[in-house]
Amino acid sequence: MTGPDNSPRGRGVGAASLGWVVCLSLTACSANDDGADRLKHYLTQLARAADSELPAAPPLELPRLSEAKLHALAINTESVSALDFLALSGCELQVNLGRRNSSLGRNASASQRLLLDLELLRLAPQCVEQLGAQGNAPLAEQLRGIVASRKSVLPKRIYNALLAGPEYRHFWQLPPRLQDYPASASDDIVDALSALEHMIERWLGGDYQANNGQLEEQLSVLRAGDGGALLLASATVARALYPASGVLEKQQAVLNGCTNENMTAVASMIQTVVSKLFTRELQPWLAQLDRREVAVMTPLRRIETHLSAVLPANYQAWQSPRDTLLGTLGRAPKAHTSAIQTTLKRCAARSSSPASTQG
The answer to the question of residue 90 being in a domain is: yes
Portion of the chain with pLDDT greater than 90, in percent: 58
Q: Please state the pTM of the whole predicted model.
A: 0.83
pLDDT of 107 over the 90 cut: no
Q: Is residue 83 part of a domain?
A: yes
**144: enclosing H helix or E strand:** helix 137-152
Residue 102 has pLDDT above 80, yes or no: no
In one letter, which amino acid is 14?
Answer: G
> Is 126 among the domain residues?
yes
Establish if 64 belongs to a structural domain. no
Closest CA to 42 of 180, 256, 54: 54
**Would the pLDDT of 216 be above 60?**
yes
Has residue 143 been placed in a domain?
Answer: yes
Q: How confident is the model at residue 105, as a pLDDT?
A: 75
Q: Pick the residue with more confidence: 34 or 149?
A: 149
Q: Which residue has the higher pLDDT, 6 or 115?
A: 115
pLDDT in tens, 222-233: 999 999 999 999
- Least confident piece of the model among 62-66, 193-197, 199-203: 62-66
Which residues constitute the domain of residue 75?
Answer: 71-152
Number of domains in the chain: 1
Bigger pLDDT: 61 vs 234 = 234
Query: Percent of the chain at pLDDT above 70?
Result: 81
Higher-scoring residue by pLDDT: 103, 182: 182
96 within a domain of the structure (yes/no): yes
Q: Which of 102-111, 147-156, 278-287 has the lowest mean pLDDT?
A: 102-111
> What pLDDT band is residue 284 in, cutting at 50, 70 and 90?
very high
261 vs 203, more confident? 203
* Residue 7 lies inside a defined structural domain of this protein: no
Confidence of residue 347 (pLDDT cuts 50, 70, 90): low
User: Is 326 part of a structural domain of the chain?
Assistant: no
Give the least confident one: 4-8, 144-148, 153-157, 302-306.
Answer: 4-8
Give pLDDT, residue 316: 97
Long-range contacts of range 255-262, CB-CB < 8 Å, 24 or more positions apart?
Answer: 255/343, 255/346, 255/347, 255/350, 258/346, 258/347, 258/348, 258/350, 258/351, 258/356, 259/350, 259/351, 259/353, 259/355, 259/356, 260/5, 260/356, 262/5, 262/9, 262/10, 262/13
Q: Which residues contact 13 (CB under 8 A, 6 or more apart)?
A: 5, 51, 262, 265, 266
pLDDT at 238 over 80: yes
With 0-12 CB in 10 A as exposed, 13-18 as middle and 19+ as buried, what is 2?
exposed
Q: What would the mean pLDDT of 324-328 be, rounded to a whole number? A: 95
pLDDT greater than 70 at residue 23: no
Report the mean per-residue pLDDT for the chain: 83
Question: In sequence order, which residues have a C-beta less than 8 Å from that of residue 238 and are 6 or more positions away?
Answer: 58, 60, 325, 328, 332
Residue environment code for 154-184, b if the CB has 16+ CB neighbours within 10 A, otherwise e = bbbbbbbbbbbbebbbbbbbeeeebeebbee
Instruction: Please give the pLDDT value at position 341.
Output: 85
